[in-house]
Structure 1
């Protein structure tokens, strides 16, 4: 993680996401601007959170550990999103691991400042309520998918959540096969079972697999398999 000392960029992001509507005189608050690289951990599960984070650029992955030591996928998060709201309100350790998927930019505001100056701010509390309720909705969906959906459905949902047919980035059209073991763990299945699902989807010409990548060939069929469910 790197702190970015760029007041113009900070002001630009505050304006872009209308944060002056959340905080009075937002430009004068002690915000920090933080940059994370792909695959960098933003928050570890169980650590002490010190700042509320506002995702203003990039995508992050939220996972939760289980007793086996593996992790289950909860959701992907894109701007504008708030990270650390539960920890702020409940005064508890970080509840889930937060990891950057691609280069991310976050604005931070220290808990101590918020507790002393913003807890009577109705606009701020209303924003927190919106984000916490949406988080509850997505976690409920993720729990239902993890418990009830087939691996084929979950993998389709995963692909539709992470890839975009309109993306200009290579990540938007293909996924590295070296990540399959991690993806299997996140979906609550085995690497062998996931490979069988990938082989089946390849035979149906929904995806194409070579030695290094999986590419999406038929977005319509993939959308049907996902049942419209997204990890986001």
Structure 2
């Protein structure tokens, strides 16, 4: 294994040349059908907890496949604050919109914990993989999944009350669907961002539900006591 450390702000980006580890990651069932050959000019990029992976507005240097760890995806809004979109884990594609549309990076990505990516240089993407049917099919599947979940979340956040949104959020996380796992957090500030409201407003909703003995809340988790009531409040809406 060859490890190269590249200075990057207060962090040092770790570039790892390890064919055994790379092959292990590529043997994931979702990637195995795309990358059939064992010889690829790929590298592993490892990011430490709280390290920035992508900076919104910068140029992208290649295609990233998240193969371990957990990352947080945010975007800036007109007020200058960051809006939380989702969390990502393996297997997630990043850089698809930027490389296909040839635009600057659209979202800010930060490692929540130590995270590995398979990095593919954009030259190889354009010269080789953009001609590969299997790769393009996976690219399309990931891009349309992101479009579907973002569209659904936007529709709920625009049309439903905050109480309904919060109940829908709890039901989605409970169901264990893919997007439910991507938005799961016990941090009220992050939940508020995900459902498109303020932390203060969400806290008022939660205080009411605690008072009505529908949920319990401590510093680390939200416990639902009356799922029937939460289901009723959700109106059948789900972030999925």
Which category of TM-score, normalised to the shorter sequence, fits these structures? 0.7 to 0.9
Give the TM-score taking structure 1 as reference length.
Answer: 0.78
Corresponding residue for residue 220 of structure 2: 213
RMSD: 2.9
- Residue 194 of structure 1 deviates from its aligned partner by 1.5
1:63/1:21 Cα in 2 relative to 1: closer, same or farther (>3 Å)? Answer: same
Bigger RCO of structures 1 and 2 (CA < 8 A, at least 6 apart): 1
Corresponding residue for residue 170 of structure 1: none
Query: Structure 2 CA distance, aligned partners of 1:140 and 1:125?
Result: 22
Corresponding residue for residue 201 of structure 2: 193
Residue 13 of structure 1 pairs with residue 25 of structure 2 = yes
1:124/1:47 Cα in 2 relative to 1: closer, same or farther (>3 Å)? Answer: same
1:150/1:44 Cα in 2 relative to 1: closer, same or farther (>3 Å)? Answer: farther
Query: Structure 1 CA distance, aligned partners of 2:124 and 2:96?
Result: 14
Structure 1 segment 149-160 matched on structure 2, within 5 A: 149-159=160-170
Corresponding residue for residue 156 of structure 2: 145
SS of the residue corresponding to residue 57 of structure 1 reads coil
Give the TM-score taking structure 2 as reference length.
Answer: 0.76
Q: Is the 8 A contact 1:37 1:100 kept in 2?
A: yes
Corresponding residue for residue 14 of structure 2: 2
What number of residue pairs does the alignment pair up? 219
SS of the residue corresponding to residue 23 of structure 1 reads coil
1:135 corresponds to which of 136, 146, 150: 146
Query: Structure 1 CA distance, aligned partners of 2:97 and 2:220?
Result: 37
1:183/1:220 Cα in 2 relative to 1: closer, same or farther (>3 Å)? Answer: closer
- Residue 18 of structure 1 deviates from its aligned partner by 4.5
